[in-house]
């Protein structure tokens, strides 16, 4: 019986130790790690630049001060502040984006494979939507000051339904969240997705497929 109790106590202590390790804070062990973009990144980001060479400017990003280019087929534009443009984000698991819309402009359906997202409507009126893995649509018109959360990997979009320009600020929980537009991936990939696949997936004929593809050339 004593041996059994000893084993039970050892197992309990080992379980507590493993739980403690697994539950430990995964954050960096240094105050900051400004990314050295001249070096190939590893699994957790870029190597740190020499801390003695870091200045206050490494913690500030001015890339979203001005509006993005909206002269395109979608009448919308985006400026991303990922670690590739803002090295101060390195190892922090954060990035930012500015989305601009002309009236009727849209950020088409897309996903972020490595991040969840929060979108804040700073200006205008936007129809925002999420489609879940079981094909449920969650959508409504958002007004200035409202925030929507978008779970990682889900298809979503935003469309300006107001009479004036709209602006969204988005925060994502990855320094490099990635973005994949559904239509562009299927109709604008290189090499091309075979026509037969597109015909059977979207129920389109050859002429319609070529017409859609022409928008992504």
pLDDT tens-digit readout, 32-49: 999 999 999 887 789 999
pLDDT tens-digit readout, 36-95: 999 998 877 899 999 999 999 999 999 999 999 999 999 999 999 999 999 999 999 999
Element of type H or E holding 182? helix 182-187
Say what the pTM is: 0.84
In whole angstroms, give the CA distance from residue 27 to residue 68: 32
SS3 content of the chain, % helix, strand, coil (to 5): 25, 30, 45
Q: Is the pLDDT of residue 24 over 50?
A: no
pLDDT of residue 14: 57
Which pair of structure tokens corresponds to residue 26?
A: 């995964």
19 or 117, higher pLDDT: 117
Say what percent of the chain tops pLDDT 90. Answer: 83
pLDDT tens-digit readout, 99-138: 999 999 999 999 999 999 999 999 999 999 999 999 999 9
Q: How confident is the model at residue 30 (pLDDT cuts 50, 70, 90)?
A: confident
Sheet of 106-111, strands arranged across: 137-142, 126-131, 155-160, 106-111, 180-181
pLDDT of residue 42: 81
Give per-residue burial for 141-151: e unless 16+ CB within 10 Å, then b: ebeeeeebebe
CB atoms inside a 10 Å sphere around CB 62: 9
């Amino acid at each position: 019986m004593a041996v059994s109790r000893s084993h039970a106590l050892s197992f309990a202590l080992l379980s507590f130790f493993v739980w403690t390790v697994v539950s430990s804070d995964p954050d960096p062990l240094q105050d900051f790690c400004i990314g050295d973009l001249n070096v190939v990144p590893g699994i957790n980001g870029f190597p740190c630049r020499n801390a003695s060479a870091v200045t206050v400017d490494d913690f500030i990003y001015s890339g979203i001060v001005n509006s993005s280019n909206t002269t395109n087929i979608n009448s919308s534009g985006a400026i991303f502040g990922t670690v590739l443009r803002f090295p101060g984000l390195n190892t922090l698991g954060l990035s930012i984006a500015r989305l601009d819309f002309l009236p009727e402009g849209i950020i088409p359906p897309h996903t972020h494979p490595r991040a969840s997202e929060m979108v804040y409507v700073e200006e205008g009126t936007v129809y925002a939507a999420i489609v879940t893995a079981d094909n449920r649509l969650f959508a409504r018109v958002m007004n200035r000051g409202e925030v929507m959360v978008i779970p990682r990997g889900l298809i979503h979009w935003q469309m300006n339904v107001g009479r004036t320009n709209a602006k969204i600020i988005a925060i994502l929980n990855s320094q490099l969240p990635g973005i994949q537009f559904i239509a562009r991936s299927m109709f604008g990939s290189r090499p091309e997705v075979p026509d037969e696949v597109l015909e059977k997936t979207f129920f389109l004929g050859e002429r319609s497929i070529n017409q859609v593809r022409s928008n992504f050339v």
